[in-house]
Each structure stands twice: as structure tokens, then as C-alpha cells.
Amino acid sequence: MIQPTHLAALFLGATLATSAGAQAVYRCGNTYSHKPCPDAKAIEADDPRSAEQRTEAKRVAADAKHQGHQMERERVAQEKATKPAVATGFDSRAKKPEPASSLFIKPKPKKKRYTAMQDSKGDDFIAVAPAAKKKRAEK
């Protein structure tokens, strides 16, 4: 059985151990150190959270870690359950031809338009301005 004096000494030792963590921290440029350097700035590094807040933060972090592990296990199980795609065998037999009517629909023939290029039989290009459209008479 633990005696009350031992319990008090244990509690006092735990309290001193946690308060010893509040040491001076110095900022030297973009680095931080416990030893001061030239032009060092002292930084307040105490944790302002209460013991309850720290305990809650640790619990939330542990829950998130547990949830992450659970999600990973589910993903791995799902990947194992999924069959990978495999190539099927090659069939060397000829396929039955489809009827010609189902292969394509004959396009309607386009109307041939008269162009100035049809007049020229030479290799030279002749540019022709398009004719102005006539306006319809309004009734």
C-alpha cells in the first residue's frame, strides 16, 4: 500500500518534471534553439492550454489515428475483394459478316454549286469577289 507521504512526493515530482519543460527558447534567424546566438530573440514557449485541453487534444488525435488505420484496413480489404482485369483469350475464328445495310447509311448527294474555279482550267488561282445578294421587295 502506498503511504500518503510517498503519494505526495510522487505528485510533487511529476509537477516539477512538467514545469521543467518551460525553458527559454531563442529565435536565431529562421531557426530556434535553447542556446542564445548573436541577435537572438527570446520566445515565450509555454503551453497556455490547461491539462484538460491537452488531454482532449491527445484523445482527438488518438481517435483520428484509429479512424485512419480503420479506413486503411477497409481499403486493403476492398482492393483484395476486387478482381483485377485480365486479358481474355484470342479467338482465331472469323466473325460472321454483318449485313451491308447495317454498316452504313448512304449519305445524300450534295448539290453541286457553280464556282468561278470551274471556269479556269489552268494552274493559276483566280480570286473572285462574291456577288452581292439582292434584297427582296417588301410588300
Question: Which residues are CB-neighbours of 35 under 8 A, at least 6 positions away?
Answer: 26
DSSP state of 121: -
Q: How far apart are CA 106 and CA 119, in angstroms?
A: 30
- Does the residue 120 lie in any domain? no
- Report pTM: 0.34
> Does 61 map to a domain?
yes
- Summarised one tens digit per residue, pLDDT across range 78-95 is 999 988 777 676 777 777
2-60 residue pLDDT tens: 454 554 444 445 554 444 456 788 888 888 888 888 888 888 888 888 999 999 999 99
Is 93 inside a domain boundary? no
For residue 40, what are the domain limits? 24-81
Our count of domains for the chain comes to 1
Rg (CA), the chain: 44
Has residue 43 been placed in a domain?
yes
